[in-house]
Amino acid sequence: MDTKFSKPKSFGEILDHTFSLSKNRFKDFFTILLIFMGPVFLLEAIIQLVSGTSLFVEKGSGNNWVEQALSSFEQSNTIDSSSLSEVIGPLIATVIAALLGAIFYPVAEAAILLAINHIRKNEEYTVKSVIKQAFSRYWPILGSTILFGLIAIGVMLVPFIVIFLVGVIGSAISPFVGIPLAILFFLGGAVGIGLLLTRWSFYFGSVVLDRDAPGLSRSWRITRKRTWITMGLYIVFYLIIASISFAVKSTFAVALGNSVLLNIIVNLTSLLTTLFFSVGYAVMYLDLKLRHDADDLKELIENYDTTTM
């Protein structure tokens, strides 16, 4: 077994291991994502081109280059009889890309997870072999993901309905009571939702590696005593990804406007951030699995000692 996977990791060690794996195995992981998402992004670009979006630079109205580039985003959101096709085309491209991404992204993430598990065991693998393994778990992955999505919607919907009612009723009584109360309920609900979804979020690793579908109960068990730290890692990953995505889009948007080339650059950036998150998820799951299996072993030893005394 790879020594980096053989012992439990701290918060910082998980981040460090994620960065090192992303760098050292970048070619394999990026190839996996490109195989699945590359055709989706290409189709999206073709639809945008056919609908009339400029390939290199999309300009709107303005007195200089920057104003023209930025105004192209505003014009793309304005619908009239002359620009209807230019708005519908990118919208269709976005919807198709989202649907195809929902179908293929879980397989790509599963392939990366399987590859990292091979690395953990010091086993050789190929991109083709881990993709084939990922497809063998496609239906359990899809079913479990749909179930998790429905649970997530329910977990988010109920608290926000309660918060809305509290805000409305409280504001009717007194704005000085209703608004602070709604804010307090919102913050508490957000933390509660985050904790619950964190506890269930590792269903995916259970389905792929442990062949335990839907994997929700196992995810709940392995995150015990590590929920806050795990949610903190999720937040850090999100902040890193959001910062990179914002920096790239805002930088190139000034020069390219709302063009096809900008969309391609943004999509390639999303592949990089997806790669980073997928590796981070795998490292977190394997760390939780190691801790849980070690705790189970300790309990078995303790039970054996008590029964033999």
State pLDDT tens for residues 256-304. 777 788 888 999 999 999 999 999 999 999 999 998 876 445 544 555 4
| Residue owning tokens 């778990």 | 137
What token pair was written down for 211?
Answer: 């062949």
| Residue owning tokens 């795998």 | 282
Alpha-carbon distance 185 to 179, whole Å?
10
Are the CB atoms for 215 and 206 separated by under 8 Å? yes
Confidence of residue 81 (pLDDT cuts 50, 70, 90): very low
Beta-carbon contacts of 30 under 8 Å, excluding residues fewer than 6 positions away, are 271, 272, 275
Single-letter code of the amino acid located at 201 = S
Name the more confident of 180 and 113: 113
Are the CB atoms for 111 and 182 separated by under 8 Å? no
Of 10-24, 32-46, 127-141, the range with the lowest mean pLDDT is 32-46
Distances (CA, A) of 118 to 84, 133, 169, 241: 50, 12, 56, 26
Mean local confidence (pLDDT), 204-227: 93
Alpha-carbon distance 55 to 261, whole Å?
6
Alpha-carbon distance 278 to 237, whole Å?
10
Single-letter code of the amino acid located at 293 = D
Give percent of the chain with pLDDT exceeding 70: 82
Question: What is the per-residue DSSP string for 179-220?
Answer: HHHHHHHHHHHHHHHHHHHHHHTTHHHHHHHS--SS-HHHHH
pLDDT at position 108: 94
Name the more confident of 202 and 176: 202
- In total, the chain counts a number of residues equal to 309
Query: DSSP label at 34?
Result: H
Exposed/middle/buried for residue 77 (C-beta within 10 Å: 0-12, 13-18, 19+):
exposed
Beta-carbon contacts of 42 under 8 Å, excluding residues fewer than 6 positions away, are none
E strand or H helix at 174 = none
Give percent of the chain with pLDDT exceeding 90: 50
Comparing C-alpha atoms, which of 203, 254, 198 is closest to residue 224? 198
Total H helices, total E strands in the chain: 11, 0
Name the more confident of 7 and 70: 7
Distances (CA, A) of 99 to 87, 92, 103, 213, 296: 19, 11, 6, 23, 40
Q: How far is CA 266 from the centre of its chain?
A: 16
